[in-house]
Chain A
């Protein structure tokens, strides 16, 4: 069964550095999402992406964040200058269409030191 994949599984970076988190959604899916979960807190929506553009973003998704689908398969989340509070588990999700199940990746644990 096809799955959403994410790399790396764990990323450690220093404050102020740029990080890129990568996701490969399921191939026939059209809607893509990033969520994050700070340890001990709820899973929070960051951004949705459809038709090669951001369709919605939350208050968390400020100018330090960006997303791209550079080659039709990868879906990336970039944090330009990481802060300590960006430490979290980042989940990618995709779905075929609205009203259908969102399939989640295994997550990337980002640790900012």
Chain B
């Protein structure tokens, strides 16, 4: 079954420290993976997708098919990075590409 697992509900770091938000997935085909972010009182928005292989706001994520992981990393956390982060898998088993979300990790960056 398709599944996304984010093992940490809460991750708390100090400003300037490295951050790694973990995401593991289970999918039978070739996965299309995303990280979405939700800042306080704002809507869910796309942070990055693995296929574009770009860095957004200093965040990167590499797809590791061997470990079925798509961890989100940033070398130096900033206070404005505090938010809920959701890893998501696009389900092409269903024809219209609905997203399967993990439970989310709340990142708290302390000054």
Binds B, one of A14-22, A44-52, A71-79: A44-52
- List the count of A-B residue pairs having beta carbons below 8 Å apart: 57
Pick from A62-70, A80-88, A104-112 the stretch touching chain B.
A104-112
Chain A positions within 8 Å of B57 at CB level: none
| With A91-B44, A105-B43: A45-B104 Cβ-Cβ less than 8 Å | no
Chain B, interface residues (CB within 8 Å), range:
20 to 34
Residue pair B96, A56 in contact (C-beta under 8 Å): yes
Chain B: which residue is nearest A49 at the CB level?
B96
A residues near B (Cβ < 8 Å) are 3-4, 31, 33, 35, 41-45, 48, 50, 55-56, 58, 91, 95, 98-99, 101-102, 104-107
B→A interface (CB under 8 Å)? 32, 36, 42-46, 49, 86, 91, 94-104
